[in-house]
Structure 1
Amino acid sequence: MHAVLPSPGTTLAPTLAFIAAVILSFLLKLWLSSRQMRHVSGHRQAVPEAFAATVPLSAHQKAADYTIARGRLGTLHLAWDTALLIGWTLLGGLDLLNQWALTWRHELGGMGYQLALLTAFALLSGVLDLPWSLYSTFRLEERFGFNRTTLRLFIVDGLKGLGVGLVLGLPFAALILWLMGAPGHQWWLWAWGAWVAYNLLMMVVIPLVVAPLFNKFEPLSDAAVADRVNALLQRCGFASKGLFVMDGSKRSAHGNAYFTGLGAAKRVVFFDTLIARLNPPEIEAVLAHELGHFKRRHVLQRMLLSFALSLAGFALLGWLSGQAGFFLSLGVRPSLEAPNDALALLLFLLALPPFTFFVTPLMSFWSRKHEFEADAYACAQASGQDLSNALLKLHEDNAGTLTPDPVFARFYYSHPPASERLAAIAAVGRPA
């Protein structure tokens, strides 16, 4: 689509709204982070009374130090990302990149030029974020004993990720751009339908094709665990296409378990670090929690919400992409001769997060509610005591703080703080 120049004075209000959203979101993030670090630091010297018998002081202090170190790095990263956002938009970075890509328009054609713009932006963004990834992996995670990634593996992972992005991402991007350039004003509805289909397809492709490129997935061989898990799955009426152990330990000491896939690709995956740390009853309890998300339809609810929000996003993009003021107010000159669809898409993805950030506490509240419900389901299908023991072990192994700032936790935490979660599990097990 081609832009129509706006009337004078129509770009100031959007610019001011964007600046206000960027500043307010930055200051709120900074305030929340400082609260978290101060609160954790202030409670570093003593294990909370509820955990005094089960959590060593050394583990509590390690969790506090890890949380504070991540908070400090996160604050620096926040400042960097905010500066980059302003640089890409109001200071003309994206416009400069687009002007460069436009020089290739005659050689590449309209679609080729737009895909080149998307690819160049993605590569530059990755390069600009690379120092942070390197420091986080090889300094911060290394300092606290979590990193097991070698530099060679880090590079190989990056190259594989780039290849997967090109193979799976570019064709889909081309489809979206083609729909955006099609005649009519309802292209965004077709683009949303393509987005939904693509996400459903990826739920099959990623477990079967993409994930094995990065990790080994071997059938669960521990008979004691397998028997318990299969019995649990049968009790819960869950049909899995396999139980697998993933070699997560080659990158990190953190442990986890998850369900993935759709239809024939549906599978249960355990990190090898989790298998090594928990006993069979505890693994059963953790899996029962994950099953609770399926049985309470949390996965379906989250998927439907994601699709509903993406529909609203595509509708908004459909309107904004035809407004030259949208481009000009954010530091980009739309072309009067070439399609501006890729430019609109990038600008939209850059400008939206400062506005949507303010709904984070609502999403966090909803997620915590789901976690409580999944825990209650797990207590009905397995042992609540085993679930509590497993959560404490994983909390300690992942250096999760037991003393988060209440405001920070309410705003960000997708899982309830450990004290609230364990209290709720204990309450479920008590007679009424």
Structure 2
Amino acid sequence: MMNPFGWSFLLALSLSLWLRLYLSQRQIRHVRQHAASVPAAFRQRISLQQHQQAAAYTIARQRLSQWESVGDSVLLLALTLGGGLQWLWTTLAAAGCDGLWQGLLLIGGVTALSALYGLPFSLYRTFVIEQRFGFNRRDWRLYLGDALKAGALALLLGGPLLALVLWLLGVAGSRAWLWVWACWSAFSLLLLWAYPTWIAPRFNRFAPLADQTLRARIDLLLQRTGFQSDGVFVMDGSRRSSHGNAYFTGFGRHKRIVFFDTLLTQLDADEVEAVLAHELGHFRHGHIRQHMLSTLALSFASLFILGQLQFMPAFHQGLGVNAMAPALSLTLFMLAAPAFTFILTPLFSLWSRRHEYEADAFAAQHSSGAALISALVKLYRDNASTLTPDPLHSRFYDSHPPASLRIAHLERHTP
């Protein structure tokens, strides 16, 4: 019989699933209703065929996400209220596993089960949807290689960290959550430092930007904005997808600027400079630091809550587990928390959109607002991004402003 923990979890999960499906259906309906004509602001640069292609791409992705949301909820119920986690724990004990190894194998088993469940969706997204719309460039060998490397890295890096976390939760008493937070924070910063030089090159090739004319323009922009980096690199993103992108990686003095090779083929030099100026705007306004600090603060709050729930039998029993152990507490918390925190999504989306507006204004001031507008239109077109998202869906989910609002904002900041 469920207790208040169980009923509150079931209610939160039901409401979050309903909201996901409701917003997704609104997005499908709104995009389909506006597929017949290109918005006036884009008619000179995006054809009706391209606009309708973007609409079809958006709808296909939304339909897959609906099935995925339902499947996620069914799997979550099976593991918790359905007794799946309890069965796995009991089976491991019957096989002679106990202590730290039982906890590690429990979390490893749940992780493997989740990965297997998500595999059909990933395959369909990559080899059906992305393939159908001309974005996928991965073959089966590359897909499998990426999966194996990701799994090996997770085991190599995550395994020791997980063992440390479970050990701390078992021996450090009521302050264990604080020690876990300190270890997690240090690990996150270590990953941020190691990603550019140790992790990313395991998946992609990075070469210094060879175009000396473009590099000279970039160096001048970096000087104007007071930004220092370890270099400007081009990544072979075209091995996997035709989508274009650019990003910063690393922190402190060890920062890299990375362009996808696909982006450099899509944009001219003025547009590339404007896109980089936008990314520099994030740095200059402290958005990257704010994001890192907010992540640390959220993990602090989450682990504090876990520290209180860890010693409550009602928490475990309410979610379908009769035993109490650090691994069970951690797994139940990780499984249940997203259902309760989903409602916070629009707050983080709003925060992110404000950052995008600030970075756009910075780019218009230090580079060319007109070039950034031109670049964005090309990226909307080439990445099949819908120009007509449902307003409520966009406010809830989108980390970037809708195309029409973003272009209008840039035009106000462009002389």
User: Which residue of the partner structure matches residue 125 of structure 1?
Assistant: 114
Alpha-carbon offset, residue 25 of structure 1: 0.6
1:341 partnered with 2:330: no
Q: Cα deviations across residues 184-236 of structure 1 (Å, max 9, x unaligned)?
A: 31111111111111100001111111110100011110112211111111111
Give the residue type in structure 2 aligned to 1:378.
A
Alpha-carbon offset, residue 355 of structure 1: 0.7
Q: Cα deviations across residues 353-387 of structure 1 (Å, max 9, x unaligned)?
A: 01100011111111000000000001111000000
Q: Cα deviations across residues 315-340 of structure 1 (Å, max 9, x unaligned)?
A: 000010111111110111215xxxx1
User: Which residue of the partner structure matches residue 6 of structure 1?
Assistant: none
Pick aligned residue for 1:399 from 376, 384, 393: 384
User: Which residue of the partner structure matches residue 74 of structure 2?
Assistant: 83
Runs of 4+ aligned residues of structure 1 deviating over 6 Å after TM superposition are none
User: Which residue of the partner structure matches residue 370 of structure 1?
Assistant: 355
Pick aligned residue for 1:54 from 28, 45, 54: 45
Pick aligned residue for 2:174 from 182, 185, 188: 185
Alpha-carbon offset, residue 263 of structure 1: 3.3
User: Which residue of the partner structure matches residue 4 of structure 2?
Assistant: 13
Alpha-carbon offset, residue 114 of structure 1: 1.3
Q: Cα deviations across residues 22-51 of structure 1 (Å, max 9, x unaligned)?
A: 111111111110110000000001001111
User: Which residue of the partner structure matches residue 223 of structure 1?
Assistant: 212
Alpha-carbon offset, residue 101 of structure 1: 2.1
User: Which residue of the partner structure matches residue 327 of structure 1?
Assistant: 316
Q: Cα deviations across residues 161-200 of structure 1 (Å, max 9, x unaligned)?
A: 1100011000111111111112431111111111111100
Which shifted more, 89-98 or 370-379?
A: 89-98
State the distance in 1 between where 2:113 and 2:218 align: 45
Question: Could you tell me the percent identity over the aligned residues?
Answer: 49
- TM alignment of 1:383-422, pairs within 5 A: 383-422=368-407
State the distance in 2 between where 1:88 and 1:264 align: 44
State the distance in 2 between where 1:22 and 1:258 align: 34
State the distance in 2 between where 1:12 and 1:179 align: 29
State the distance in 1 between where 2:5 and 2:157 align: 34
Alpha-carbon offset, residue 105 of structure 1: 4.5
User: Which residue of the partner structure matches residue 428 of structure 1?
Assistant: 413
Q: Cα deviations across residues 238-263 of structure 1 (Å, max 9, x unaligned)?
A: 11001110001010010000000123
1:114 partnered with 2:103: yes
Secondary structure of the structure 2 residue equivalent to 1:211: helix
Give the residue type in structure 2 aligned to 1:266.
K
Contact 1:317 1:345 (8 Å CA) reproduced = yes
Contact 2:244 2:260 (8 Å CA) reproduced = yes
Contact 2:228 2:253 (8 Å CA) reproduced = no
Contact 2:234 2:260 (8 Å CA) reproduced = yes
> Alignment length, in residue pairs?
415
Give the residue type in structure 2 aligned to 1:342.
A
Give the residue type in structure 2 aligned to 1:303.
M
Pick aligned residue for 2:86 from 71, 78, 95: 95
Structure 1: which 5+ runs fail to align? 1-8
Secondary structure of the structure 1 residue equivalent to 2:413: helix
Contact 1:208 1:265 (8 Å CA) reproduced = no
Alpha-carbon offset, residue 54 of structure 1: 1.4
Alpha-carbon offset, residue 287 of structure 1: 0.5
Contact 2:345 2:396 (8 Å CA) reproduced = yes
Q: Cα deviations across residues 112-158 of structure 1 (Å, max 9, x unaligned)?
A: 22111121211111111111111110001000000001001011111
Which shifted more, 59-68 or 120-129?
A: 120-129
Give the residue type in structure 2 aligned to 1:324.
P
TM-score (ref. length: structure 2):
0.98
Give the residue type in structure 1 aligned to 2:186.
A
State the distance in 1 between where 2:212 and 2:290 align: 34
